[in-house]
Chains A and B, each alone.
Chain A
Amino acid sequence: MTTNHTTAPGPAFLPIPPAAARIGTVAGAAVALAGTFLAWTWTDEFPGDLTVTGYPGGLQVLTLIGAALTLLLTLSGYGVRGLGWLTPGGTNSPVRLLALGTLGTTGYTLGAIAYDLGGIVNLEPGAWVSGIGALIAAVTALGLPGDQPLDGTATTAWQRFRNSLGAPQAPRAKALPSWAEILIIVAAFGIGLYVFAYGIDTDYTELFIGFLITVGFAFTALHRAGLVSRLTALTTKHRNITLAAALVAAVCFPFTQQKEEYALIGANILIFGTVALGLNVVVGLAGLLDLGYVAFLGVGAYAAALVSGSTMSAIGVEFPFWAAVLTGAGASLVFGVLIGAPTLRLRGDYLAIVTLGFGEIFRLTVNNLNGNSGPDLTNGSQGIPSIPDLNFFGFDFGLKHNILGFDLGRSANYYLLMLVFTAVVVLVFRRSGESRIGRAWVAIREDETAATAMGINAFRLKLLAFALGATLAGLAGTVQAHVNYTVTPEQYQFAGSVPPNSAFLLAAVILGGMGTLSGPLVGAALLYLIPAKLQFMQDYQLFLFGIALILLMRLRPEGLVADRRKQLEFHENDQPDVPEPRQSEETAAGIAKAGA
């Protein structure tokens, strides 16, 4: 089975005999793995206590996972029976990525230990074992043959390097029985939840950075291996089950978090993601660049705060929550129509600038309705503080409740409430997107003139998208007011330090993938989690954010989650007029295995 590896479709990046390269990778990964069971340093001053010999802890676990995955995928490339399913797409490029990721995590850990404790003398032999093992694995992995041929234009070392990390797409999978496919989806969401919860749970910066490195490389590797696309194919096939599984995973999340602050991060990510999804109706579907979207969140939040029974509210009434939600959503809807009606006659850049202006007008107005420079409604820059906690039929959201043996605190309660709203917005996004109205929105986005010539009343439909987006943001705002205890004008600016603001919302949509359902949620999770976890970069947040956006636009302009187009490309492979993608030697091996 291993013989056919010599007929590689692409050249190796480093000139090492393939057999030696493969042995080196396996050996290196094994050594790195073994090293994680030894002590890496002598003092537990470095967080995570890496002094124990016998079982890995803290950052060592990440090296362990990286090395184990490297081993698994290398063995899969060897043609070991039962592992072939791991690499239906590329075989060697995922190994390379994983080896590099392991080296990255290990190297980062060693560097962090040396930096924190003052010098490399603080490294124990175990650290060197893992470090050298990871290095050997990474270097020899670069000697494995490429998964795709080198095109003539790639001449510089960097281009050859990038090419060696690329892989052809996986051929379509054989259909499994549906229960197996569903089980795979459920397992994938289980793993996803675990990884996400692990990331939120990291309680020191070094571990979070290590986590990011490992996850980043591992995810790319699985993508190259073709597993991500296989999974995507399954989730597209069983969409309702996928949604249900996602919902269950999301419901499980607060049960994994015992710390109040981490549950709060979860609740805030949900708010952020929900608003981003609402914005995706406007930007992603209808193609209207709205730079003042956060104002609608603000309208909803202020409306809810005013009728929440807060002692500082100028109105001083206390609506039941359902009525407050309707008030918030209704107020946002009205504002959406009022702002949309004059501005939506503009196109493109003009629309963006005018919405930016209206967003700021909202903030300034709220700032000035303080009794001095205007009627007293919002307490100006002070905002409306002490918004009381919600209480549903005696279930006080402010208190800790014990459910099934798990303690759910205040943030967890609001997280679960917000999840209901997120589910509603997901449903609205999906159903509206897949209807006559949604198609009309996309048509307007693609070519407004042609859309009107097809009988679409562009202005009306754009207004509808704008109003719907505003309403969804208003819905989220009503919960946000309660989660934050207080609403202030500064929460609703164009660009601020705390994520749900217009710039970050737009970034979440673009980063995640415009027009997709999961994209904005993924984007929001990343954009909230990373700054929340890496407190030290708070001062440079906008700067780093800018750099990240530039890099993203350069490397992956369509966002992390690509929309239907990608799946369509798969689909088109089935059709006779599109040439078959060249089979890599590994898929041939896979077929042989299946036949064996």
Chain B
Amino acid sequence: MTTMTTTTKTATTVLDANGVTMRFGGLTAVRNVDLTVNAGEIVGLIGPNGAGKTTFFNCLTGLYVPTEGKVSYKGTVLPPKPHLVTQAGIARTFQNIRLFANMTVLENVLVGRHTRTKEGLWSALLRLPGFTRAEQASRERAMELLEFIGLADKADHLARNLPYGDQRKLEIARALASDPGLLLLDEPTAGMNPQETRVTEELIFAIRDQGIAVLVIEHDMRFIFNLCDRVACLVQGEKLVEGSPDIVQSDERVVAAYLGTPFEGAPGAEEAAEVEAAEADAAKDAAQTATTSTEEEDTR
């Protein structure tokens, strides 16, 4: 575990989700979940497939309006509007990568800067004095982030041409561009090889060291238990246990509900299937984008 654990105990609460419930018709995907994240903390959220982890994230970020419960960030209750949530300081990534595929890597990050800049249409049309300066500053900040994430040399590539692992990293850079106080990561290492996973781990520590709290969903148990100061386990929409990695790891309800019997870091059949499905999805997406732009084939 990390040495930071002790220092964060006394820190302020960044995120406070209170009794969040989400119903889709008869299905209750998230049931009365409380969760807090403190400044400087990395919190993990685990649970079997369909447990409601992503749905919970969507409730936090305003993509879904929770049926019940409220979410507050640094003491103020968040309105359920995604752009206002981001404005307030929560940024996120998506389980199924949602980059702006036909924009360059740099532009993707620049879009992330949207809430932290305010040059409007008139400023752009008339090239008012502040415009060029602000644009320059945005670019510099974006390049800094790309440097940090290790994609600076690919700034001019199209996002859709990046390898899978780089796409996940770019999503993180794009989220960081909005200068968040809390970063939500939905399965940041899905589809990565062990080496890439280790790099991502380092990256998340580095992000935490910048003073950004992190809430991360992951199926890779070794990754989660290495990384997190605290772990919560969601099963069928309800929070089963929460506590330090050791506690959660040894809780037999968790083992029963989620990990299955043999747990030694090896991914179970479920996780393997999940990863496969995600990859198949990504492959399908890629195939689709390929068919919509047959230009390369045409000119050759």
Where the two chains meet, the residues of A that have a C-beta atom closer than 8 Å to any C-beta of B are: 148, 166-169, 223, 427-428, 431-432, 434-440, 442-443, 446-447, 449-458, 464, 468, 555-558, 562, 565-566, 568-569, 571-572, 575
Contact = CB atoms under 8 A, between A and B. Distances in A.
Nearest to B294: A557
Interface string B149-177: 00001101110010000000000001100
B300 A148 contact: yes
B264 interface: no
Interface stretch (B19-27, B94-102, B188-196): B94-102
A453 B156 CA distance: 23
A193 to B, nearest CB: 26
A443 B121 CA distance: 16
Given A432-B125, A439-B111, A449 B295 contact: no
Contacts of A464: 121
Given A450-B100, A571-B156, A432 B82 contact: no
Contacts of B247: none
Interface string B127-154: 1000100110010000000000000011
Interface residues of B, number: 52
B115 A443 contact: no
Given A454-B114, A568-B158, 18 more contacts: A167-B300, A223-B299, A427-B125, A443-B100, A446-B103, A447-B98, A447-B101, A449-B98, A452-B82, A453-B63, A454-B175, A455-B83, A468-B121, A562-B295, A565-B293, A568-B156, A568-B157, A569-B296
B160 to A, nearest CB: 10
A328 B294 CA distance: 41
Contacts of A447: 98-101
B293 A558 contact: yes
B179 to A, nearest CB: 10
Contacts of A431: 124-125, 127
B63 A456 contact: no
Interface of B: 61, 63, 82-83, 86-87, 91-92, 94, 98-104, 107, 110-115, 117, 119-121, 123-125, 127, 131, 134-135, 138, 153-154, 156-158, 161, 174-175, 178, 292-296, 298-300
A167 B300 CA distance: 5
A159 to B, nearest CB: 12
Nearest to B108: A443
A223 to B, nearest CB: 8
A518 B138 CA distance: 28
A282 to B, nearest CB: 14
A435 B100 contact: no
Contacts of A168: 300
Most buried by A among B61, B87, B153, B161: B161
Contacts of B117: 436
Enumerate the 9 nearest inter-chain pairs by beta-carbon distance, A residue then B residue, closest first. A435-B124, A455-B115, A455-B86, A450-B98, A446-B100, A452-B82, A443-B111, A457-B83, A455-B83
B248 to A, nearest CB: 28
A439 B103 CA distance: 9
Given A436-B117, A453-B63, A443 B103 contact: yes
Contacts of A438: 124
A447 B174 CA distance: 14
A432 B102 CA distance: 18
25 contacts: A148-B300, A166-B299, A431-B125, A435-B121, A438-B124, A439-B107, A439-B110, A440-B114, A443-B103, A449-B82, A450-B94, A451-B100, A453-B61, A453-B98, A454-B86, A454-B112, A454-B178, A455-B83, A458-B83, A556-B295, A557-B292, A557-B294, A562-B295, A565-B293, A572-B156
B61 A446 contact: no
Contact of A437 (B92, B120, B292, B300): B120
